[in-house]
Structure 1
Amino acid sequence: MSLLQRLWARRRERPALVAFAALLLASLLAYPAVDWWLRATTEFASNFRFGDFGAYTGAVDRWGAGEPLYRRTDDGGFWGTYLYPPVVVLLFWPFEALLAFRDGAIAWLLASGIFLWTGLQALVAALGYDLRWSERLGLAWLIAGFHPALLTAKLGQAALFMGGLLAVAGAALVRDGRSRRPTDEPTDAGLWDRPLALLAGAATAVVGVVKFAYAPVGGHLLHDRRRLVGALLVVPPVAWLSVRFFGIGAHLTYLDVLRWGVSQGGDGARSPTLWLAPYYKPLAWVLAAQALRVVASAGIAGLAALAPPRARRTVFALGVAAFPLVTPQTYTYYFVALLPAAVVLLAGELDRDGYPELVLLGVLLLHAHAYGLRFLVVTLPNAVPAFEALRPVYLLLQPGLWGNAVLVGLAAVRVVQTTELSELAADLLPVGNTSTAGAADGD
C-alpha cells in the first residue's frame, strides 16, 4: 500500500492526521506559484542569483590559477567566500570547467535535486511503501515546493546534495536492518558481510567531509560498528586526494576557517527584524548556547551508543533532526537535510499507531519558517504596533525552531523508549499500539 493510501485509509479514525497531511500537501504544492508571485510583487523575495555557487566556482578558478583557495575579508574573517574543505572543490570542478556560470549552477541544482528525489524514493521503498509513478512525480513537485529546498536552489547551495546523501544513508541503514534480526549483534561476523551498513556509514561520512557543520548527523555511527567502519573507510582516500591536489597549506588555512565559523556561532544573533530568508538562530536566546550544544551533542551520542539494535531508525532520525540545533552556525536551507529524518519518523509513527501528526506539524513549521518569521516580527508589528511588546521574545517566535524541536523531541523520546529509561519516556509520550511498536524500530 502506498503512503498516501495508508493516510487516506485512516481518515475516519485519525481525522487530525488527514487534515495535517492535506494542509502540508496543499502548502507544498502551491508554494512554487506563491514564490513566483512574491518575486513578481515584492522586494524581499529573492531571485535565482546562485550567490553561494559563485563562491564555489570562485574557489575552482583560484585553484586553477594557482592562487589560495581561501580569501580573508577585511575584518580577518571569511564571510561570503569559499568555506568548505579543500577536497570539495573537486565536486564543483566539472560544473565550472565545462559550463558557463548560470548553466553550471542549473546543472548542479538539477543533479543534486534529482539525487535527493531518488534518495527519498529509495528510503520510502526501504521502509516498505510503494510509490506509483504519479506519486514519484508528485514527490519531485513537493520537494520543489519545500521552501528550504527552493531557497537552496536560489543560492546554488549544496543542501540538496547533502539531503540526498542522508536519504541514501537512511535507505541503506533500513535495508541492512531488514536483512537481519533486530537482536543480531554485528561483532562476530566479517567486515564485508553487511555492505549496506558500510554504505550507510560511508554516505554519512561524505556529508561530514563536504561540510563539517553537518557532523552531528553521524550520531547513528556510534550505534553500529559496521556503519562506523564504513565512515572511517572514507577518510584515507579523501585525505589522500585532498593533500595530493591542494597541499598542506590549504588545510592549515581551513583550520582557521573552522575556528572562525565556531566563533561566529558563539556571537550574539542579529535581530530577526533584520530579516533574511536564510535566518535561523535556534539557540541564540539561550545563555551559554555553545555549552548547551556540547551537552546536547553528548546526550545524543550517549543515546546512540546505549540504544539497542532495533532502535537503528530512530537513532538515525535523532542525529539528523538535531544537527541544526547543535551545530554552531546554522541556516534555513539546512532543513532540507531533515526530510529523510521526517520520512523515517513518519513511517515509524504510522507503524506503531503513534503520533504521525507531530511529524507533519514539524515539517510544516520548517516549511513556513522564513516567511512565517517575517510575518511575525516585521509584517504584524507594522500592522499592529502593540505587538512590538513581544520584541524581547522574537527569537522564540521562529517557526523552524518549534518544527525542529518537535522532530528532535519525538525522535529522542522514541529512542529512550528502547532503553532502560523507557518508563520515563512512556510517561512523556505513549508508545501507541504495542502490537506494532516493535516493528517500527526493529527490522
Structure 2
Amino acid sequence: MFRKILIANRGEIALRIQRACRELGIATVAVHSTADAEAMHVRLADESVCIGPPPAKDSYLNIPSILSAAAITGADAIHPGYGFLSENAGFADMVDAHGLTFIGPTAEHIGMMGDKIAAKAAMAAVGVPLVPGSDGELAGLDSARSVAAHIGYPVLIKAAAGGGGRGMKVARETADLEDAFTLARGEARAAFGSDSVYMEKYLDRPRHIELQIMADNHGHVVHFGERDCSLQRRHQKLLEEAGSPAIKPAQRDALGETATAALRKLGYRNAGTLEFLYQDGQFAFIEMNTRLQVEHPVTEMLCDIDLVREQIRVAAGSLLGYEQRDINFDGHAIECRITAEDPVTFMPTPGRVTAFHAPGGLGVRVDSALYAGYFVPPFYDSLVAKLIVHAPTRSRAIDRMRRALDEFAVVGIKTTIPLHQRIVDDAGFQAGDYTIHWLEDFVSGG
C-alpha cells in the first residue's frame, strides 16, 4: 500500500480523497494555488505545497509544479480526482516516468477514450452498441451531407476531443447542416485545439444513463449499477439518481454484462464510467470517462462501497476481492449539485460565505469544502457542495432530499439550492418522467 498520496485537485473532491486516505492510514499532500491558501483541503492535509497563482493553467494544470511537489514531499502516488489533469494521458505517462503511481487508468486507455472517435471504434470492436453515425472524423461538409442523408435528420455534430457541451451543434434539416458543421468545428478548435468532428443521429427524447465500473490489474471487472444523469442544463448535470427510474433490474444486468465483458477485453483497469443514451428500450454508447465522476456518491450510497478506497487499492496492485454477485443495489439515492450561481440567471456568484449549515440525519451526506468565512474564488468551477440522500424507495428519497434542502443554509452568496427545491417539488420529476431535454424546458418555464 502507498505511504503518501499527493492529491492533484482542490475543493470537495480533494477532501473526499483525503478521507479515504486517512481511513487507509495513508498520509496526504495537498497542492493549491495562492487563491486556495485557506481552503479546507489545504487545512486538513498532512502537508501542503503552493504550486502557482490562481489561473488553473499556472497551478492545477501545471504539470512540472505538481511533479515537483510530489518529489519534495516524498509522495509515492498521485490521485487526480476529476477535472483538471484527471483525463490527461500525457500527465499519467509523466507520473509513471517519474517512478510514481497514477491512481487511475493507463495512459493508453485515457488517450483512447479521450478521443471520442477512437472510443466509439474501440467499443464497437468489443460489441458495445453505438448511436448511428459517421465511422470516424468527418472529412468535410460533403462527407457530413453524405452521412446525414444516410442516417436521417436530425443529426448532431460533435467535437472528437469534446466535453461539457462545447463543439456540439444540431442540424434538424439539410438547410441547417452547413452552419452546424462550421460552428461545431470552430468551437472545437477554440476549446480543444482540434477541429476534428464526427456525426451522430440526434435522439429527440433520450435519457442519459451511465454505468460505474471498477477493474483491477488481474483481469477482474465489476459494475456498480447505473446512474440517471438526464437532468442537465447546457450539457451540465444538475441532479443524478441511482438507479434510474426508467431502468429495470434485468436491463441493468444485461448492460452490465456487456460493459464489463468489453472492458475485460480491452484490459482496462481502475475506475471508469460508460455513458449511454437510452431511448425506446435501447442503449447506445456515447463516451467513456476514465476517472472518478462528480456523481460517484450516489453509487456509493446505493452499493455501500467506497469507490475512492477501491481506486487506491487497485492502483496499489490489490485484487478487487469480490465478484459481481457480491454487489447489492439497496434502495435509491439522489444527488443535487449545489453551485455558486444565481438560481435564475445561472451567473456565477463568487464571494464570502458568512454562514454555513449542512443538513444531517439518517441517509443524508454532504460533500463540501465550504465553511463560514470561506471566500469562494472566481477562478474555478462553481460547484461548492453535493447533497446526497439515500432511502429504501425513490419516493422516500425525494422526501428526504426535500427535507435536507430545506435545512441547507449557505449565507453570503447565492446558490442553486432554490432551483433544486423547485425540481424535487415538480410532479414530472416525482413521476420520474423526464429526458435530457426536461430541465432546459423547466428552467425556461416551458
- Higher RCO (C-alpha 8 Å, min separation 6): 1
Give TM-score, length-normalised by structure 2: 0.26
Larger strand percent: 2
Give TM-score, length-normalised by structure 1: 0.26
Larger helix percent: 1
